[in-house]
Structure 1
Amino acid sequence: MLERESARLGFGTYSLTSEDGIDALVTAIESGYRHLDTARLYGNEEEVGEAIERADVDRDDLFVATKIAHFEEPEKTPDYVRTGVQESLSRLGVETIDLLYHHWPRGRDDIETVLPVFNDLLAAGVVDRVGVSNYTPSDLELADDLLETSPSAVQAEMHPLLPQRDLRAAVRDRDAHFVAYSPIAQGDVFDQPEIQAVAEKHGVSEAQVSLAWLLSKDGVVPIPRSKTPEHIRSNLAALDLELDEADVERIDSIDRRRRCEDPSWMEWE
């Protein structure tokens, strides 16, 4: 499904809760987003499920991803993962999770506990694909040993201020998709002269340029989030923005770096 053009630009759902969140989700689905990304930790799987129910789009046309076993969640055990996934299915109102991620592990023990359970969930048909979130290249090597099938997707922060070249290479080696969260660096891309210049050239927003730049990279799937109907729709229009080689090179040349999500304990490679 991630190979389909309709899923190449996903919709992030972090902090979209209550009725306002459902309205934003319904707007996104009915505007054309087909890839929805949530997580147990976000506390909004019920809202995502309600939006799927309300939107005038068949469930089979949607690609629903969620995540479990974030470092802030309780102690990870196999039973915790199994029970949590069943709860996610119920909250989302779906029979199968299209893509289940291990959500930001804290160390080798987490990975070694969670991923073998993912093998069981795949075999049981509870999930269709598995992925990993905020893994380093070394973590991916460990995942290779633990998973019976390669992850379909690796989710991590990526935007013009964090191009993730090494991690993207590791993801490509595994024929996986790179799902990019914080694709506009929480608004920081708006202030970058290179992006401003490309936006002015094409008569579009800086957000659209950042998303189009991500889409220009092989296998990269951005997942922007917005509550505003105008922004929800304008972000989707990035699918129609074609950057030329000079545009991409100009953005590639940005040498400023910014990581939006950076826990003090995390050792990035």
Structure 2
Amino acid sequence: MNMPQLGLGTFRLQGRQAVDSVATGLELGYRHIDTAQIYGNEEDVGAALAASHVARADVFVTTKIWTANLAGDLVAPSLEESLRKLGLEQVDLTLVHWPSPGHAVPVRETMEALLAAREAGLTAAIGISNFPVSLMVEAIDAVGSHNIATNQVELHPYLQNRRVAAFARETGIHVTAYMPLAYGKVMDDPVIKSIAARHGATAAQVTLAWLLAKDYAVIPSSTKRANLASNLAASRLQLNADDIAALDALDRGERLVSPEFAPQWD
């Protein structure tokens, strides 16, 4: 199935909080759930999926291979463990969560192993996350851009990642925006708030609608039912060219996620 453009992120959610967020999201109409090995919540996501009345075929599930599992002989076994935790026979998309720290494992080795895992039926599609352009080139050289479903990167009004997004567009690789609300900073932004007021919308909805208008997938997260419902409604908000230009002008290269093992950013 194609990846729904608006999804539900589960970063930092664990235990009952993760189960409830995913269960509520599915009930409200989310059909794209994003998790990762390092989040420690694959079992929680699996429990919510199992308890849901939504058919498995109707839910797009993404997980991500952690840096400790990027060696060629570890990719498939770690993905099998993820499937066991999720209670699934196959995930819809598996991403390399972060490039191997210090290039310890070559991009080619991981991507070829991930492609083999896809061919073995463990995942329907493969992709990358947190890859700058130089490493996107390596991934493309390894398996071809047609085999890379998305590059999931931090992307919000204050970090628009334009070089990565432009290169992805040129090579036909979709972009998924994580941290789309910039840890909630957009809620207090006067520019975004004024646009929201004109549309009778929230600042979060305006920000998500801006990302959706650029054809990015977005995966906001929330534990509150009202916010989950509100975020989902952003797909119905149509911004005009002036609105989009106003948000475009907010870019200030403000990166919120850059662990010590992060790659050299563009």
**TM-score strictly above 0.5:** yes
Any residues of structure 2 matched to 1:65-144 within 5 Å, and which?
65-70=62-67, 73=68, 76-105=70-99, 106-110=101-105, 111-144=107-140
* TM-aligned CA deviation for residue 58 of structure 1: 0.4
Correspondence for 1:251: 247
Correspondence for 1:29: 26
State the TM-score, normalized to the length of structure 1.
Answer: 0.93
SS at match of 1:211: helix
Correspondence for 2:258: 262
Measured against aligned partners, the alpha-carbon deviations of 1:93-142 in whole angstroms (never above 9, x if no partner) come to 11111100001112434323311101211221211100100001110100
* TM-aligned CA deviation for residue 255 of structure 1: 4.2
Correspondence for 1:56: 53
Correspondence for 2:159: 162
Structure 2: distance between partners of 1:202 and 1:119:
44
Alignment counterpart, residue 212 of structure 2, candidates 186, 211, 215: 215
In the alignment, is the contact (CA less than 8 A) between 2:19 and 2:47 conserved in 1? yes
Alignment counterpart, residue 153 of structure 1, candidates 150, 166, 173: 150
Structure 2: tracts of 5 or more residues without a match: none
Equivalent pairs counted in the alignment come to 262
CA separation of 1:140/1:202 partners in 2, compared to 1, >3 Å: closer, same or farther? same
Identity of aligned residues (%): 39
SS at match of 1:156: strand
CA separation of 1:171/1:22 partners in 2, compared to 1, >3 Å: closer, same or farther? same
Structure 1: distance between partners of 2:162 and 2:196:
24
Correspondence for 1:185: 182
Structure 2: distance between partners of 1:121 and 1:265:
25
Aligned CA RMSD, in angstroms, stands at: 1.5
